[in-house]
Amino acid sequence: MKDFDVIVIGSGPGGYKVSKLLIQKGLKVCLVEKDLFGGVCLNRGCIPKDFLYSIASSYSIVEKIFKKDRPPITWEEAINKSQERINLLRKTAKDFLEKRGLVIIEGEAKLVDKKVIKVGKHYLRGKYIVLACGSKQKEKGISPEDILSGKVKLGRRVLIKGEGATACEIAFLLNFFGFEVILSIKEKLLSSISQIPEVFSDKLEAFFEELGIEIMHNYFDHVDTVITATGRKPNLSPHLFPEVKMKSNGFVEVDDFLETNIPGVYAVGDLVPPMGASYAFEKARVVFHNIVYGKSKKFNPARVPVIISSAYEVGFVGDKEKAVKYDYKALTINPKNFMRMDRGIVKVGYDSSGKPVFLCALGFGVSEIINTFAARLGYSFSHPSYAEILDEIT
């Protein structure tokens, strides 16, 4: 039996972040991972997606202004370069933590007692346990992660099932790289995200159509590849963690402090809604605080900026429920946006005292606006972003 202050199950954004914070405080931490270090986000999710988006968005603006053909970069070339960089980043991140004392054990974790984890022949006991097991695709089929990792070779005509954030992001990327793209939707684009107003969805849909992305309801015929982007579900196995209470939808039951029904056992990442890497980092900060300083910090999703990187960037931050009046601003009143021919818009919500408490924006590069607004409110930053380096130095 090996003893640790904290055992973390999963090395995605939540598991990685909480492990890093804890070892920096001098705690003895063991991280258990059964798959690639870094989880879906680093290897098949937001990091490769952001790399590809940086290529597509930069050239798209040039193409829009000068009406020039885009440079001859193929999807295969971009994917290969992305995976090359990810392999290096994975090794660098893993080495960084191990050199600072993190113990990493590969294998499947099983809770055999309230504070004891079994991994193969290893028995690990922790004063605290953090569940960060991530999520998996809801429906069968080719996933966005299969596409972003290069696992699946795409045909020329691609159908994407879904109208959420990931579907919109993948549609833009594939369209930029020359694929014929059809979005098969049931409702409106981004309709499941209450913080995004309908007028923003309409603008994104109009831009998609301008780019040649077809939007159709329940379409499935005459395509070469079908990508299922209809959402994800928590990846905690009940038979491996039978004592941990779960809801009928698979999410782990936690209190406001992210502690489960078992004292000292916390859950972060996609095991607790809302899903997403930016939320996972904030959940990790909450759990770190509650382990190190006592159970006193609550998780507040309003503190987390969310950015959807598509034909336009769309995002929000703040507490929409506190907003009683709103103001809209066209981005063309800003010289930088005007020069880039940006038709975007910003929506700001104010509380009863006139204080700004919520912001939603659509346009080119609006992640800068959203993260700046977040900083003004004393909140964290979106992931991945340049701004999140400030979380390391403040």
244, burial (CB in 10 Å: exposed 0-12, middle 13-18, buried 19+): buried
For residue 69, which phi and psi values (nearest 5 degrees)? Answer: -70, 145
Write the DSSP assignment of 201-252 as a string of letters: HHHHHHHHHHHT-EEEES--SS-SEEEE-S-EEE---TTTSTTS-B-TTSPB
Query: What is the percentage of the chain residues whose pLDDT exceeds 70?
Result: 94
- Smallest CA-to-CA distance from 364 within 313, 294, 302, 327 is with 313
Q: Convert the pLDDT of each residue in 147-174 to its tens digit.
A: 999 999 999 999 999 999 999 999 999 9
For residue 334, which phi and psi values (nearest 5 degrees)? Answer: -90, 125
Whole-angstrom Cα distance, residue 313 to residue 338? Answer: 16
> What local confidence, expressed as pLDDT, does residue 68 receive?
65
> What local confidence, expressed as pLDDT, does residue 167 receive?
98
Q: Convert the pLDDT of each residue in 294-318 to its tens digit.
A: 999 999 999 999 999 999 999 999 9
> What local confidence, expressed as pLDDT, does residue 218 receive?
77
Q: Convert the pLDDT of each residue in 39-76 to its tens digit.
A: 999 999 999 999 999 999 887 766 666 666 766 789 99
Residue 259: pLDDT band by 50, 70, 90 thresholds? very high
Q: Model-level pTM?
A: 0.94
Give the pair of three-digit tokens for residue 294: 């006592």
**Half-sphere exposure (CA, 13 Å, Cβ side) for 139?**
12
CA terminus-to-terminus distance, the chain: 38
- Smallest CA-to-CA distance from 280 within 264, 301, 298 is with 301
Q: Convert the pLDDT of each residue in 91-136 to its tens digit.
A: 999 999 999 999 999 999 999 998 999 999 999 999 999 999 999 9
Residue 337: pLDDT band by 50, 70, 90 thresholds? low
Where do runs of H (alpha helix) occur along 33-133? 39-44, 46-66, 75-99
Q: Is residue 237 a contact partner of residue 223, using CB atoms and an 8 Å limit? A: no
> What local confidence, expressed as pLDDT, does residue 340 receive?
56
Q: Average pLDDT over the chain, rounded to whole?
A: 93
Q: Convert the pLDDT of each residue in 181-231 to its tens digit.
A: 999 999 899 999 999 999 999 999 999 999 999 999 877 778 999 999 999
Written as one letter, the residue type at 275 is M
Residue 236: pLDDT band by 50, 70, 90 thresholds? very high
Written as one letter, the residue type at 186 is K
